Amino acid sequence: MAIKLLIADDHEVVRSGLKNLLADTDIKIIAEASTGEQAVRLALKHEPDVVMLDIRMPEGDGLNALGRIKLDRPNMPILILSTYDNPTYVARAVALGASGFLLKGATRDKLIEAIHTAAAGQSAWTRDELRRVTGALATPRLTADVEVPLTQRESEVLRQLAYGLTNKEIALALHISYETVKEHVQHILRKVGVSDRTQAAVWAVRKGLV
């Protein structure tokens, strides 16, 4: 029986490439989305066996879509397909319940294997990927229900940080200086009680800030 796949990517060339790669396999693309909003709507409508989400898309990124789909369909396997090997993205994907994280440079065989693994209800995460974020997911302070007195601006910076933006991108998004962003990030790490951005991003996800 064919595996029903929903793909979401805002670049038509990527969607076409995936269709070509999977053309002679038992994986059938039943729906395509170009925005996060479309991905959520089509996932709930078509009930695919596997969803494959890009991260950076308009109208709600892939990680946001992942979280929304999981609220309604907690058992639906979802793979993240990204250009960016960003540990913050990986950590958020793990925290939100993704079945795996693939880079767009992955081989055809690896792509097909991950889809089959996810469709079988198993984890497609590699040991190396999980090792990278184990520290972030296991940090004791992250699981504690601790109220952290972040200022409004710190909360805004943390939200952007958890979306995977760099300090430079956060500065542009919030119309503040790069140095100011660096200061805010240091204050956030100290207040939250974590040692790096990845841990802060996981904490933000668990607190419902993103």
pLDDT at site 77: 97
pLDDT at site 197: 85
Lowest mean pLDDT among 26-30, 164-168, 171-175, 192-196: 192-196
Q: Which two tokens stand for residue 131?
A: 């090792």
- Beta strands at 50-53 and 78-82: parallel, antiparallel or unpaired: parallel
Tell the residue number behind the tokens 């090997």, with chain if given: 85
pTM to 2 decimals? 0.74
Residue 9 pLDDT more than 70?
A: yes
pLDDT at site 178: 93
Q: What residues contact residue 83 under an 8 Å CB cut-off, 6+ apart?
A: 56, 103, 104
% of residues, the chain, pLDDT over 90: 63
Which secondary-structure segment (H or E) carries 160?
helix 152-162
Instruction: Quickly state the pLDDT bin for 165 (edges 50, 70, 90).
Output: confident
